Amino acid sequence: MLRGEYDQARTFLQKNIEDHEKTGDRMGYFWGRARLGDVALREGKMEEARQILVDVIENFHADQNYNGLAFALDKVANLYIVTDKPKVAAHLIGWSDANRMKLGDPRPRIEQAGLDRGIALIRAKIGANAYEAAYNTGRDLTLDDAVAFASGVK
């Protein structure tokens, strides 16, 4: 995926997802789907990415998998950056950062670098002050509100 070989990444992930489904590994299944949503996003398949990621978020939420939620919300934030919803993206990044801090689960460097590029786009679009305000609002969101933002309900 990082080399842009999306067809190969998709094939690998679909096999991985099928294997987890066969063995009844619910979390492995949803982690694979989250990564598949990321591939769809990178391919520019926004509707597919949104459908996959919303489903994953709802299931991670139901299972109280906060690490999975942070990962998936970061991906949805990227989706909202691309689809011109910068304030919603900033809310989600704020929630993810606050949640990651609580969990002691920092974002991997390569993911942080990608998100930093997205943050720069948000700041260029709405300004640094508006970004900071939306980000700080996101840090204070409840889990349910963060999920609602990610799902497009709020």
At 112 the pLDDT is 93
Rounded average pLDDT per 10-residue block, the chain, 154 residues: 90 96 96 96 95 96 93 94 94 95 92 94 97 97 91 72
Q: In angstroms, how far is the first alpha carbon of the chain from the final one?
A: 31
Tell me the two tokens of residue 86.
Answer: 């910068």
φ/ψ of residue 130, rounded to 5: -65, -40
Domain spanning 6-151, CATH architecture:
Alpha Horseshoe (1.25)
Sequence-distant (6+) residues with CB within 8 A of 147 are 57, 58, 61, 69
The domain locations on the chain are: 6-151
**What distance lies between CA 125 and its chain's CA centroid?**
20
Tell me the two tokens of residue 41.
Answer: 């996003």
At 34 the pLDDT is 96
Please state, in angstroms and rounded to a whole number, the distance separating the CA atoms of residues 125 and 19.
42
At 151 the pLDDT is 86
Residue 111 exposed, middle or buried by CB count within 10 Å (0-12, 13-18, 19+): middle
At 4 the pLDDT is 87
